[in-house]
A = this chain, B = another copy of it.
């Protein structure tokens, strides 16, 4: 037994990564931990990839189906993709090696609402789970597991898998112990009960994950950092996007539709989200709450400054600096951060009840407010829908944000017709770009188009959009959502053919 492995029976199952990987068989469905580069297994996937490479060299096929919480890192997705070791990947990915294989047609990928994954696995829609491969930060004396820096779908994987492999990662802070809230009250229809959560800071579960020790086939010790990259300061475009959103929130407060403490915030990750958080701090907000998926460095700062009162998420995705900050102020943060399973962080019931303000990035939006979050030119996947649909459909406000241009101006974020739709006209309330903000609530499609063109489109593309809209309104087949179908996707086709949407 070690300091992190306190259960004698499980300590007896200590194995090397290669030894653990030997429990995974060709064709298995392997459900792994990991959410936004945090809490993924770091040793066994690489050992598995090496086994696969040897098998392939010997002419034996060896591929598995891989489920996770969300995105992972090169040690998992990258390693398995490089040896063509995955026949199916779901429910989300962001790894360049994985993405290139998906878009080359060599790897099948299923892009799923993050709130659907656990229940659809329970329903049996994805077949049996052969192996759960889960990183934890410690094993308690009673065999319960101290979760790692993300919870994701781990509860479900541990419950449903035939065989369990645990990676115990010493690198994860001791202080994670007690920060999790694992809800064991879920059930299958017709036996479901209301989930009792009514506040973002409420505990409704237990701090530890349960596992049947008899199912555990191997325990591997690791000491390896999460993927997380350093916080980068928001650029000018992101600051302008954030500025428009903050102005809108102030407007909503003046109208009495939001209070001084707003409503629980959900925000995606990255530059724009960081700029929004920074803007909230500058705007004098205090005592806000986050009910979101991922806690990044920016949120630590807001917690320290009292801008945020607390944050609930499913993943704690910090940079090395963030980890240091957390470790230096453990007692402070443990009072203010809760990590939950993603079926709870993203649950439609809870997001609607709490009235989250949903803020997510997008690839493109069309004149009528349909949003594409996943596909470049309708066919190439970028990452996936993630939890954006869970929050956009059910939140109090659904906001989508992006710069008005991409690829140095070769791509307009605002297009005549979205080349793929992840969020329909029925689910999109507010669009924001560096150019401005379009409030689409209570507007018909044509009214929306005028707002989107005027406030969100880049001036380089605005006249082209206006021209399309006017001609479609005058000549189109129908005048409810005016389109010229022969042209609707021509901007994307031009981009494919010439490298630019410009005429």
Contacts and interface: CB of A to CB of B under 8 A. Distances in A.
A393 B127 CA distance: 21
B426 A385 contact: yes
Interface string A294-322: 00000000000000000000000000000
B355 A192 contact: yes
Contact of A352 (B103, B349, B354, B476): B349
A116 B349 CA distance: 13
B488 A109 contact: no
A383 to B, nearest CB: 12
A489 interface: yes
Contacts of A389: 393, 424, 426
A441 B483 CA distance: 32
Contacts of A353: 189, 192-194, 349
Contacts of A482: 105, 379
A284 interface: no
Interface residues of A, number: 87
A171 interface: no
Contacts of A473: 105
A100 to B, nearest CB: 11
Interface stretch (A11-19, A145-153, A415-423): A415-423
A478 interface: yes
Contacts of A184: none
Among A111, A192, A264, A485, residue most surrounded by chain B Cβ atoms (within 10 Å): A485
A251 interface: no
A477 B379 contact: yes
Interface in A82-134: 88, 102-105, 108-113, 116, 120, 123-127
Contacts of A257: 123-124
Contact of A478 (B375, B426, B480): B375
A279 to B, nearest CB: 22
A375 B477 CA distance: 11
Given A485-B419, A493-B486, A375 B194 contact: no
21 contacts: A88-B444, A125-B441, A126-B442, A127-B442, A189-B355, A189-B396, A190-B355, A192-B355, A194-B349, A348-B394, A376-B477, A376-B478, A377-B477, A377-B478, A377-B485, A378-B483, A378-B488, A379-B481, A380-B478, A419-B485, A421-B424
Interface of A: 88, 102-105, 108-113, 116, 120, 123-127, 188-190, 192-196, 198-199, 255-257, 263-264, 348-349, 352-355, 370, 375-381, 385, 389, 393-394, 396, 417, 419-427, 429, 441-444, 446-447, 472-473, 476-483, 485-486, 488-490, 492-493, 496
